[in-house]
Amino acid sequence: MSHQHPDDDTRGRLKVRRIAIDTYHENVAFLNRHCALYRAEGFQALSKVEIQANGTRIYAVLNIVDDDAIVSPDELGLTEQAFEQLGMENGNLVCVAHTAPPHSMDLVRRKIRGERLALTDFREIIHDITDNRYSKMEMAAFLVATVQSGLDREETLSLTRAMTETGERIQWHEPLVADKHCIGGIPGNRTTMLVVPIVAAHGLLIPKTSSRAITSPAGTSDTMSVLARVDLSPEEMHQVVAETHACLVWGGKARLAPADDILISVERPLGIDSEGQMIASILSKKLAAGATHLLLDIPVGPTAKVRHMNQALRLRKLFEYIGDRLGIHLEVVISDGCQPIGRGIGPALEARDVMQVLENNPDAPDDLRQKSLYLAGRILEFDPDVRGGQGFHLARDILESGRALKKMREIIEAQGAASPIPPSAPLTFEIVSAHSGYVTAIDNYQLAHIARLAGAPMDLNAGVDLLKKLGDEVEKGEPLYRIQAEFPSDFNFARELAEKDNGYRVGEKKEISHRYLEI
């Protein structure tokens, strides 16, 4: 194999080429094994490289390619995210050089050894992560280090601060900007889409940015997308808020606390969970979104994310401590997480439940209505003019008078109404009870999993429609819920899983899970 060597004036310069591979928040560069630079620079697979062009500098992990059709020896391939960050055209010359691992990995290694990190340390780490200088492995190392020796209160505060400082921060120029967040894990829990119009109808500012579902069958953005456009630019979002005092949009376009998105892309597949990371993730997003007042909902239940009351209480203290230090007015509600909220699980089904409540339809699911009124009431009490304890009644008045529905219609119109979707999914199947008795438990995870297999959230109409809830009496053969799907294979997967374990326990009345929480 001949070893071609670059002239000095093109030393380290290669033609950049877009490689349409999605490596999910990791920059990967591809170099041909016969590239002169590969040998001259002593590159190896998994080396970190620095790519420069026109004053822009990006970082990537190297993969070595043995196929000229993917990248030829005078080219450097970049995955889509990296290519976009560099902002060059195919064929432009770029400089490639070795780069040392980010300096802040020294700090990560200190954390691994069990040392405490300071605010400046977290700032360096988060800065390098946001700059895509960390490989997935390095992020995994950081995350495991923070889980294992743990983040104490001060470290969690520092991490939150560091994550808030990177990326944009929205300015609303209002003294009270309300927001809400739920720790998650409860299917069908679409209170946000009721709280926002109620609070906005009262006159408070509540510009809500949400994520899309990652592991759940629907996020607020997915459900809202059934009714309106949600992928608004920051400018469009400002316009909607100026018109309606509210919005219900996807937060992905706003570049809020971008380090959070990157870290989540590693945390999720690893299945590791750190309270410190979770708190920093939630609060940094809210602060970046410009919230001044935040209501946090922590559902507790045997199949919720938070399973024990003492864990919920500890989380509350931590949230309060950090919220106070960062100057956000924060209140925590611990709620019942024993079963799904409402009836529908999946974007269109949940949107139906939400609209039924807004329309004061007598068939509207009462648990969704009550919980939403309670949460909206607590947010209304952030208003100095609302007397403590009066929020719930005020919220109910706003809902019953139709003002909440009117506000929701304004928001939908301002964001741009979605084109109507066909009324229901063509394939349905009812899961029935194997014997008579009472519904004594419902497994949130199993129901979410079945709804996902049915196609939610990608197929808006897919999901699960609950016909029985906790405490309901059922006869043998009576349907517990209905699976809806659009595609036969999705339908079969969901049905097979539900037939193996339908997620319901039917037993004696005395076995019904004790709901120790009011909402």
Q: Which range binds a copy of itself by CB under 8 A, 61-69, 157-165, 330-338, 425-433? A: 61-69
Residue from 321, 328, 318 nearest 293 by CA? 328
d(CA 451, CA 462): 7
307 binds a copy of itself (CB under 8 A): no
Name the segment binding a copy of itself (CB under 8 A); options: 13-21, 160-168, 238-246, 304-312. 13-21
Give whichever of 138 and 179 is closer to a copy of itself, judged by the CB atom: 138
Q: For 255, left (φ over 0), alpha (ψ -120 to 50), or beta?
A: left
User: Is residue 212 at the binding interface for a copy of itself, with CB under 8 A as the rule?
Assistant: no
Residue in 27, 30, 257, 339 binding a copy of itself, rule: CB under 8 A: 30
Answer whether 379's CB lies under 8 Å from 391's CB. yes
Q: Which stretch binds a copy of itself (CB under 8 A): 51-59, 67-75, 120-128, 323-331?
A: 67-75
- Footprint on residues 109-128 left by a copy of itself (CB under 8 A): 109, 112-114
21 binds a copy of itself (CB under 8 A): yes
According to the binding rule CB under 8 A, does residue 140 interact with a copy of itself? yes
Spell out the residues 6+ positions from residue 381 whose beta carbon is closer than 8 angstroms to its own: 388, 389, 390, 391
Out of 16, 51, 65, 295, the only residue in the binding site for a copy of itself (CB under 8 A) is: 65
Is 273 a catalytic site residue?
Answer: yes
For residue 73, the minimal CB distance to a copy of itself (Å) is 13
Does residue 422 interact with a copy of itself by CB under 8 A? no
Member of 1, 2, 8, 235 binding a copy of itself (CB under 8 A): 8
- 66 or 235, CB closer to a copy of itself? 66
Could you say whether residue 63 binds a copy of itself (CB under 8 A)?
Answer: yes
- The C-alpha atoms of residue 430 and residue 426 are separated, in whole angstroms, by 13
Question: Among 453, 470, 497, 498, which residue sits at the site for a copy of itself (rule: CB under 8 A)?
Answer: 453
- Judged by CB under 8 A, the stretch of 4-12, 231-239, 394-402, 498-506 that binds a copy of itself is 4-12
Position among 34, 50, 57, 64 found at the interface with a copy of itself (CB under 8 A): 64
Q: 281 and 159 in contact (C-beta within 8 Å)?
A: no
How many residues belong to the chain? 519
Give CA–CA dist 60/49, Å, rounded. 5
At 83, list the tokens.
């290519």
What lies within 8 Å, CB to CB, of 69 at 6+ separation is none
Report whether 382 contacts 296 (CB < 8 A).
no
Both tokens assigned to 391: 């929020």
Q: How far apart are CA 192 and CA 196, in angstroms?
A: 6
Residue 135 lies near a copy of itself (rule: CB under 8 A): yes
User: Which parts of 203-298 fold into alpha helices (H)?
Assistant: 220-224, 234-244, 258-270, 275-288
Can you tell me which residue has the tokens 């410190």? Answer: 276
23 binds a copy of itself (CB under 8 A): yes
Cis amide bond preceding 187, omega within 30: no
Told to check if 95 binds a copy of itself by CB under 8 A, we report no
Q: Does 3 engage in binding with a copy of itself (CB under 8 A)?
A: yes
Please tell me the distance from the alpha carbon of residue 49 to that of residue 31, in angstroms, as a whole number: 11
Contact 336, 374 (CB under 8 A): no
Q: Which two tokens stand for residue 31?
A: 């170099």
Instruction: Please name which of 207, 210, 230, 231 lies closest in space to residue 220, comparing C-alpha atoms.
Output: 210
Nearer to a copy of itself by C-beta: 100 or 171? 100
Q: Which residues inside 471-510 make contact with a copy of itself, applying CB under 8 A? A: 487-490, 492-493
Please count the other Cβ atoms lying within 10 Å of the Cβ belonging to residue 169: 15
Q: Please, what is the minimum distance in Å from the beta carbon of residue 271 to a copy of itself? A: 6
Nearer Cβ to a copy of itself (19/178): 19
Tell me the C-alpha distance between 433 and 445, whole Å.
19
**Residue placing its CB nearer to a copy of itself in the complex, 247 or 348:** 348
For a copy of itself, the closer of residues 120 and 148 by Cβ is 148
Looking at the Cβ atoms of 64 and 517, the one nearer to a copy of itself is 64
Of 61 and 364, nearer to a copy of itself (C-beta) is 61
Asked whether position 5 contacts a copy of itself by CB under 8 A, the answer is yes
Contact 316, 334 (CB under 8 A): yes
Instruction: Indicate which residue of 273, 324, 366, 501 is catalytic.
Output: 273
Q: Does 386 bind a copy of itself (CB under 8 A)?
A: no
User: Which CB sits closer to a copy of itself, 401 or 489?
Assistant: 489
Q: Are 424 and 284 in contact (CB under 8 A)?
A: no
Applying CB under 8 A, does 33 fall inside the site for a copy of itself?
yes
Strand bridging mode 178-182 / 293-300: parallel
Among 56, 87, 90, 270, binds a copy of itself (CB under 8 A): 270
**3-class secondary-structure state, position 120:** helix
The whole-angstrom separation of Cα 289 and Cα 468 is: 38
The residues that are catalytic are: 273
| Interacting residues toward a copy of itself by CB under 8 A | 3, 5-6, 8, 11, 19-24, 30, 33, 39-40, 42, 44-48, 63-67, 69-70, 80, 101, 105, 109, 112-114, 135-141, 143-145, 147-149, 265-266, 269-272, 452-453, 455, 458, 487-490, 492-493
